[in-house]
Chain A
Amino acid sequence: MNIKNKFFKLFVSLVVIAGLTTACNGGGEDNTDTTDTTATNDNSNNNTLLAIDGQVFIIPSPVQTALLIKSVGVEYNSALLSNPKSATNFSTNFKKSINVGIYGADLGYVTIYDQTQDAISFLTAVKALGDELGVSSAFDKSLMERFEKNLGKQDSLLSLVSDAYRSADAYLKDSERNDVGSLILAGGWLESVHFATNVAKTSKNPEIIRRIGEQKSTLENLIKLLTPHYSKPEYAEFIDGLMDLSNVFEGVEFSYTYEKPVTEADKKLTTITSKSEVKISDEQLEQITKKIGDLRNKLIN
């Protein structure tokens, strides 16, 4: 009985201390000041608990490749897109997550080409999958309303969607669901390369072909991002597919020559003038196109 009492007192004390810690540090902005120089080693536990590695891999936005495609004069092609009606068919979180990324890239593409009706269909699909994945706060009713209000204003729409994806990403990081966040990125990347490879096939545009070759490093980063989840079967199959694709990219030559950048302090601008070249053969391009197509087909159906 005595031990039980001691344990109970210890537990109550712990809860009280923990409660006070939260009350002192959480809540309003005034209490979340991380600039407090007195906070020295107190946060050492936080670092471990947030489980953040020393390295972070950034995957460029799929919107950038869609913008490039439009800028080189390629016309809108709805055949490049996935089917937003399939959103109800995805039964696993793996497929739901990756298709949030795929639909996000499609949403960017149709927005850039001012395809209003298609944009609303894709946004609705993203919202449906987002709800099922527990990120409904990012893709909520107010986003839909603001999107509809801004129809025709391309920059505003792209900002709204990108900000919503950023909110979802933050929420997933808060709730330590980095696997879902990584899959969303992977889906967006895959879809953007699918756009580029298909456009390259018909247009042979050198800027688009170069953009495909430039994915060599991004693909390596993507594999590093996903590898911690390799133990799960669906991830393993997908990562194996990406590694197979990476083997083709190994042969793509990316050369780089450093040049001293130019900084204009008054404009807070640095122009990076270093030069890079990409060499990619027709055969490599064909293999990449096929492998991207195969990977995508397994995910969108």
Chain B
Amino acid sequence: MAAGDRVRGNQRRRVVVTGMGVISPVGNDVDSFWKSITEGRSGIGHITRFDASAMRTRIAGDVKGYDPGHYFDRKDVRRLDRVSQFFMIAAREAMAQAGIAYDPDDEAAARSGVVFGGGFGGMESFTEEIRILDRRGPDRVSPTGIPKIIINMSAGLVSIEHNLLGPVTCVVTACSASANAIGDAAEIIRRGAADMMLAGGSEATITDYGIAGFAQARALSSRNDEPERACRPFDADRDGFVMGEGGGALVLEERDRAQARGATILAEVLGYGMSADAYHITLPRPGGTGAARAMKAAMADAGIDSSEVSYINAHGTSTEANDATETAAIKLALGDDAYRVPVSSTKSMTGHLLGGAGAVEAVASILALERSLIPPTINLDTPDPECDLDYVPNQPREFSGDYAMSNSFGFGGHNVTLVFGSSGVGNKEG
């Protein structure tokens, strides 16, 4: 019996990944993203998108050399907040890799959908519209403002562009949103409501309000003089996260159909675990019991035990609270295996993509399995006694293994863990 079937006596539909897409501060497509994170390159720099000179935090990870005109018509781009642009770009790459292109009349189109995960939606558009409202009055706000702002529109836009006429929804759980999106999309396929789902998320909040708001919550690093060294998960001198922007998308398919059409299986979505800290609006529950339950639930859903986990892509934000708590949670969830399993935080290079983080880190986890190489946690110079696991410091590491876990924890106490199986697992008969 394959891992995905182990938990339940009856046959359950299996969900595989057949396409991936990324746009990030370290690369505007999957290949350049992977190259950067395996070379330990940081995408963090001084903020240039707006005048951040009055801010406590003046650094962020923006998408480099981004020209919307390269991807969208002038007429269309006016209606697209940056957050939607990012998700649409990632979705295009994923669909192209999967080799899927539907006409609206195709039967398969009605059996395909989208789940988008995001934190804020069109923040930049929202703040622009409020400014217009204040300065010029209600009859000067844009008729397309509301559509640009609402968080679900990114899902709608992708369904429009790719003719996906089945379940199209959106999940909003802050920094775990796009991890939830992938899990929820897999569940939609498992219960038979769709055969293909485009799942992922994005965020674009490097704006004056975005930075000011998080800075005031004391969540952001203020290592403004050394941007590339600011995001230092698990390091003793970490002082907060660095905001990133971008998005990721996975094409998920029911496994038998994917094989029947000759798709290349990149990985299998094996486990989806969720829990709530039920503790504080921003701080994790001390001791990591909440996150540990999500990890255990994901392993149980995948039908694996901790001895089989080969890599954990940590939430690893570089905040004092998260990194210590996540370390404790990994120990609770994995027991003795916690000291064996390599754990790395790719946020050390990309920054924190908030609602888009889960999807981008899912791509990193799947690539790690596919290429047998773990991207490092960079800037890990001084170990913190509370963070004493193997975080793959500073250099990538070759490994072999079949199961990777990805953690995403959001403000509000949302804990989400996904377990991915390698393509070897995905291709194995149940």
Asked whether A and B interact, the reply is no
B residues apposed to A, CB below 8 Å: none
Chain A contacts to B: CB under 8 angstroms? none
